[in-house]
Structure formats: structure tokens, C-alpha cells
Amino acid sequence: MSLSFLFDPHAPVRASAKIVQIDSGQKNIIHHTNASSRCERGEFSEDRMQERANSVKQGLAEGRLQLGLWCSLGSALATEVMAGSNCDWLLIDGEHSPNDLLSIMAQLQAVGGHPVEACVRLPEENATLIKQFMDAGARSLMIPNVRNAEQAKRIVAAARYAPEGFRGFSVGHRANQFGRIKEYHQNAHLNQMLILQIECEEGVRNASEIAAVDGVDVLFVGPGDLSTNMGAMHNAGADHVQQAIASVLEAAKTAGKAAGILAPLQADAERYIANGFTYVAVGADLGLVARGSDALIAHFKKD
């Protein structure tokens, strides 16, 4: 038996092990397992293992609203519960939540059976983290506090294989089903989605140049950081902050890119959607649990 498959993920696997069936106490040899012959009989196709299309990226390219939920609890079970909500995407937070590579990978696994795109926010712009999380299966990445086009270009390059970028090459990893998806490396960029956060005045000033970078899919406003950095902590509704948010939206539209925002208050979300934001997070697991439990107990402790 050839061991070439140990080194080449696309080498045909041929096994001589016999399948044994117990029938009325008799051991009957059914047949020898042979992957190639089974393909010839049409039992399965060697090309069946394909990367699932990124429906959120497609939807945004078509101008359709994509609704998301934030996952901050660091729990695969909680994230799986959120995945069943019929949202279009989930954001697994690696910046302000108790998450790391392994806990986020567990959450990616937990939601894999749901028709939802799992996005991951990294703690910072970091080429090594981009490589590691993409290899672990996070193809939609959010990067915080992007300030200029040069930074955006570095992020895109870190996510792309040569010659377009410098993402480290690994033959088999979770993103390509451990070597089972043919031509993953050539086509990975087609389903990747890069969401760059605009969270400071410098980023607002350079939003048009950031949006114009090839490979950037979404400009995402972080209202909390943006308002804080503009001297209006806890007040994203301040006029000058709202003007900045509107300018980011316009920059994205002009470049033919999507604009996103976190809007856990229903009135804010409805306003942003009406204004043209199409990648909108409308709630978070932490907020839903905290506010829901507060309201429930308050109802019974009226005195």
C-alpha cells in the first residue's frame, strides 16, 4: 500500500481493509474498500469536498442587508445558541472578550452546522494572528482601529497567499478540510471577507482611501471607540460623531464597498439601516443575557 497520501493531500487513498458484516451468526465478507473504484461507481465524487460559499460576502456584493449578532461570552454553547437565531452572520469577538485561538476555533466548530457566516474579530492588526485564525477556519475577519490605507494594504496582504500577499502556506489545516479541498490555496481569497473597523478621527479622515484598497470588503464603524476618541464617551449620538459615521458610510458607498455598524438599540439599528448600512449587528449575547435577566428579576421585585 502506497503511503503517498501522508505527504500529498490529493493523492488517491486506496485501502485493502475488508468490511465484515454479521449476518445470522455468519461473517460474510462484502467487498474490499477502494476509493477510486467507488468514485467510478458514482458512490461519491473525489471533487465533492468544496468550500462553502460565503453567502454574506455575496449578499453584500448584491446590496442586500446582512444582519448579525455579537458573541462575547467566550462560550461555544452560547455561540451555538445564537447561530440558531436565523441571523446572517455572527461576530466572535477576540478583542474585548475572554477568547483565544482554541476557544474561537471551538465556536467555529459549534456553528458549522448552521447556515450562518462566522466572522472573527482579532485583537489587533497582526499578520501572525491573521494566518493562524484563517488556518483555523476563520475566513471572515474583522480588524479593529484601521487608520489609513497603508495599514489596510498590510492586512489584505497578510490574508493572501503569494504573489498577492504573504500568508504562510500550510498544505493541510482546518480551513481546507485538512487538505481535502482541492485548489483551496488558489481560490481562498474568493470566500474571504475583510471587515476593517473605523474607530478614530484619523480613520474617518482616511476612510475613502481605506475603502479603495482592493481586498477590503466592509468599512465597519465602532460607535463606542469612535465616540470616545472624538471626546464624546457614551454619546455616539452626538452631532459630530453622527457626521463622522455618515462620512464613513459615504466613503464605503463611493468605493462600491459595504458599510457596517454595531447597533444594539433597535431605534439606532433601524436608522442606520434606513441610511444605507448593510452589514449591521443588532445585538450581543452578553447584552441579551444581562438585560434580559435584569428585566426578568426587576419584574418580580417591583417593590
DSSP states of 38-95:
HHHTTS--TT---PPP-HHHHHHHTT--EEEEEE-S--HHHHHHHHTT--SEEEEESS
Q: What sections of the chain are H helices per DSSP?
A: 35-40, 55-61, 76-83, 101-110, 127-135, 149-159, 184-191, 201-205, 207-211, 223-229, 239-254, 266-275, 285-300
Is 123 buried (19+), middle (13-18) or exposed (0-12) by CB count in 10 A? middle
Beta bridge partner(s), residue 89 = 68, 117
Largest Cα–Cα distance in the chain? 82
Distance CA 219, CA 151 (A): 13
Q: Which residue among 31, 96, 240, 299 is the active-site one? A: 96
By C-alpha distance, which of 3, 108, 125 is closest to 52?
Answer: 108
Among residues 160, 121, 126, which one has the least CA distance to residue 144? 121
One-letter amino acid of 288: L
Whether 114 is catalytic is no
Which residues are known to be catalytic? 96
